[in-house]
Amino acid sequence: MSKAPEFSYTPEQVRALSENLIKDLEEKLGVLANIPGPQRNFRNTMLAFENAVTGFGEAVQVQIFLAYVSGDAELRKAAQELELKISQYSVDLFTREDVFRALTEYSDKGEKLDPVDARLLEKTLLDFRHNGLGLEPRARNRVKKLKKELIGLELKFSQNLREVGDALEVSEDELKGLPADFKARLRRSEAGKYLVTMDYPDYMPFMDNADSGDARRRLEMMYNRRCVPGNIELMEAAIQLRRKISKLLGYPTFADYVLADRMAANSGNVSAFLERTRVKLVKKGRKELRELGKLKGGEDRTISSWDWRYYVNLLKKTKYSIDHEKIKEYFPLETVVKGMFEVFGGVFGASFVPAPLPVWHGDVRAYEVKNPDGSLAAYFYFDLFPRDGKYKHAACFGLRGGRELEDGAYELPAAAIVGNFPAPSGGNPALLKFADVVTLFHEFGHVTHNIFTRSKYGKFSGTSVSRDFVEVPSKMLENWAYDPAVLRRISGHYKNPGEKLPEALIKKIIEARNMDSGLGYLRQVFLSAVDMRYHTARGKVDTTGLYGKLRKKISLIPLSPENYPQANFGHLMGGYEAGYYSYLWSEVIAADLFGAFEAAGVMNPEAGAKYRELILAPGRSFDEAGQVRKFLGRPAAEDAFLKSIGAA
């Protein structure tokens, strides 16, 4: 049985790691490349490559993760340097002519393979072709050089955002509308004013609740001017490099290059999907905007971007009698986590047992994930509160993929949720807003994909699926947060744990779910369209001009003057470039899958077992659309999604 991962590394150990690992991998690849053609078979060529590369990735996965979570600035720096080296070496790896020739030589033999082995060969060869193999040497070397340059830009963009320490000074008067516990945890400036940081637990509640429109406007501007102009220059340079790479590889646009290996297949399909969805949403969005304008009142009823969250929150309080500051009293973190484990443990047939495993920080809690027979299935970790130098958003990080080892044993997967939820303060425990609960369920959906994998190969393990399928399990689990039985299970007033969220509030939360779904999903369409336009443009891209133009046209709420949100649009520099549409695409599929649970009962363990077997366990071992078809008994459709958001 594989042990839990270790996290106790020094900066020196991390710096020394890459050379030895690369040397070892090079030796293995040399042996593979030099096997005489007649002796080639699946085991000594394709499987040897897969095992060597997956083992190499696994050996640096945890150390690279420390760049995002370590409390030691020097260790974070060493881990960032390692990430850059490994990412750039990966370009070298997948542009090796000798290895590509070996794999092609084996492929040309035409041996009959089982479907998963055949898929492994097909996807591995595609990785090489996507890196320029098959091109003449000069073009191939150009692709390689550009890819390495691109990796450097992307990592610098991310690093810049992690290191932001900006904070807005606000007066006591400008904190009107904010709860006492929010005010209590704010640092003070030398002038005695309150400091509101750019971290989610500060930014989001302030934009939701601060009565001062001018303070919200100033905070939004500071938030949207982070890393300006540096990150704008990095993004525009990256877009240019991506276009050059796709052109060299024979694709009309970078989006088409990326989508060739996705469910959507090409940029035309994505654009049609986004426009189809926009048309279905625009009537609802305009109606919601008018309602917010009435609530604002006065002569100028225009809803500016710094108004949107505030008036949506105010509408929840007035029309639906939902005060999220009051509701969070029923969601102490410990109660929510305990209830979440009970709910999803029951649905998926697993238990989450606290365990004294190695961790990377004192805030981290660790668990062993066990099957019904008591056998160990995976390792899981929570790192939930903000700290200096830590990743700023909420995410699931895969720490180790599940896979079959050469001795026949199964490598147990490990995953972590890294979040930035409000920490305990003022003598009160950590209290989650309902939006935090939804976020927690979302990230736990990614966790289920990682920990319940039974993929044969690391390449197909867990979340290593098509980018436009990767959000399906996360969007799926969000639905449970709106189920009355689940809300009862995960709630309990922090002063009286036996006092569950009142039935009237449960009813209001469910009723209010779609009160701003038109504007909310138009924003998703807008961000997806921006991404597509950036990555299908033929000439130089003015990211600011295009962002502003599409924002007004699609989201219905214009961009504020002197704001540059693309400078902190990390998704487009961190794996979702030409892929942001994946959130919507996945949500459509997830809504259809959830319909099967609604029909069987959301706590139904039989439905859970079927979902675990057909959707979670295979990873990318099979075609994702085919697995969805097996689960539903038909192809996925858009009807369930439109109905679920009140736009049918």
Q: How far apart are CA 484 and CA 311, in angstroms?
A: 26
- CA 158, 161, 163, 166: dihedral to nearest 10 degrees? 180
Domains of the chain: 11-134 (1.20.1050.40), 165-223 (no CATH), 329-516+582-644 (1.10.1370.40)
Q: Which helix (H) or strand (E) holds 520?
A: helix 517-534
pLDDT of 1 reads: 58
The pLDDT of 594-605, averaged and rounded, is 96
- Active site members: 443
Instruction: Name 10's Cβ contacts closer than 8 Å, sequence gap at least 6.
Output: 75
Residues 192-209 pLDDT 10s: 999 999 998 899 999 999
Q: Which structure tokens are listed for 364? A: 């981290």
Going by C-alpha positions, the residue among 92, 124, 90, 94 that lies closest to residue 107 is: 124
Average pLDDT over residues 355-367: 97
What whole-number distance in Å separates Cα of residue 248 and Cα of residue 565?
A: 30
State how far the Cα of 593 lies from the Cα of 587, in Å rounded to an integer: 10
* pLDDT value at residue 392: 85
What secondary structure letter does DSSP report for 109?
Answer: T
Residues 6+ apart with CB under 8 A from 272: none
Residue 452 CA to residue 601 CA, distance in Å, equals 21
In 3D space, the residue among 170, 268, 161 whose CA is nearest the CA of residue 225 turns out to be 161
H or E segment to which residue 508 belongs = helix 503-511
Q: For residue 98, name the pLDDT band (cuts at 50, 70, 90).
A: very high
Give the pLDDT of residue 399.
98
3-class SS string, 288-343 = HHHHHHHHHCCCCCCCCHHHHHHHHHHHHHHCCCCCHHHHHHHCEHHHHHHHHHHH
pLDDT in tens, 112-156: 999 999 999 999 999 999 999 989 999 999 999 999 999 999 999
Pairing outcome for strands 365-370 and 403-404: unpaired
pTM (whole model) above 0.75: yes
pLDDT of residue 64: 97
pLDDT at 426: 84
Give 174's DSSP letter: G
pLDDT of 136 reads 93
d(CA 433, CA 437): 7
Tokens for 437, please give them. 């609960």
The C-alpha angle with vertex 201 and arms to 200 and 203, in degrees rounded to 5, equals 55
Model pLDDT for residues 446-497, shown as the tens digit of each residue: 999 999 999 999 999 999 999 999 999 999 999 999 999 999 999 999 999 9
DSSP assignment string, 423-489: PPBTTBPPB--HHHHHHHHHHHHHHHHHHT---SSGGGSTT-S-TTTTTHHHHHHHGGGG-HHHHHH
Phi/psi at 416 (nearest 5 deg)? Answer: -135, 145
List the structure tokens of 18: 């890459």
Q: What is the CA radius of gyration of the chain?
A: 25
| Mean local confidence (pLDDT), 289-306 | 95
Strand 376-383 relative to strand 351-354, pairing: unpaired
Taking residues 250-273, report their average pLDDT: 97
459 vs 463: CA distance, rounded Å: 10
Determine phi and psi for 379, rounding to 5 degrees: -120, 145
**pLDDT at residue 525 above 70?**
yes
* 394-444 pLDDT tens trace: 999 999 999 999 999 999 999 999 999 999 988 899 999 999 999 999 999
Calculate the average pLDDT of the chain. 96
In this prediction, residues 153-182 reach a mean pLDDT of 94
Burial class (CB in 10 A: 0-12, 13-18, 19+), 127: middle
Q: What is the pLDDT of residues 364-378, one digit of tens each?
A: 999 999 999 999 999
In this prediction, residue 574 carries a pLDDT of: 85
Say what percent of the chain tops pLDDT 90: 94
The pairing of strands 376-383 and 365-370 is antiparallel
Strands (DSSP E) contained in 569-638 are: none
3-class secondary-structure state, position 559: coil
Q: What is the DSSP string of 399-436?
A: EE--EE-TTS-EEPPEEEEE--PPPPBTTBPPB--HHH
Nearest Cα to Cα of residue 325 among 427, 454, 178, 452:
178
Report in angstroms the alpha-carbon separations of 518 from 436, 638, 645: 21, 16, 8
> Can you state the percent helix, strand and coil of the chain, rounding each to 5?
60, 10, 35
